[in-house]
Amino acid sequence: MDIRDRARQDVIFGCWDEYAATNLSARFGEDPTQGYEDNLLLHMGTARQQANDAIKAYRIDHDVEKVYNAVCRAYGNLLKYAAYYLGNLDGHGIALSQRQDFEKALSGHWFEPYFLRLEDACKDIAAQYGAWTDQSLFEVIGDILEDIVEEGGIKCSQQPDGRLYMDVPFTAATMV
């Protein structure tokens, strides 16, 4: 696996594991919904800056593996926190529309389309639990990560010789 495949796998299985765990455990103990929501909101406010800071550092050290890992970690963690929240909501039978403060914060935020795609992906995986024949349902989560990373400033492409090329345009470090 190359660096991109490793990042995808980490986020795919991290998101699914957390979604499934919080969904299944929602019926036990105290309700952690507000805590998950607060944590997700915090990371919605910091993930882009963490990624931008890593890209700015790349301008000095030119370590492409380091910047890619840091950007994937920032956005991958955001996706994992979203998966915690989504699994917990589903486990409690709470619709997103019932969390009006969160819905308001999400509305118009750069993360909104990715959050909604992650919600669909996790629900699709859960709906087909026990009938999976391949990893295609899970790959959707990896695609979401790659789309966020690209929007956030790192464009990856496979070269004809099989090597991975990463372009880190200068303007990406100023995105908000």
Tens digit of pLDDT for each residue in 93-134? 999 999 999 999 999 999 999 999 999 999 999 999 999 999
Domain of residue 127, residue span: 3-174
H helical segments located in 62-135: 64-92, 100-106, 112-127
Mean pLDDT of 145-156: 94
Interior angle at CA 43, CA 140 and CA 71, nearest 5: 60
Residue type, 119: E
Is the model's pLDDT at 56 over the cut of 60? yes
Number of domains in the chain: 1
**Model's pTM, two decimal places?**
0.93
- Dihedral sign for Cα 72, 78, 84, 88, please: negative
Residue type, 82: A
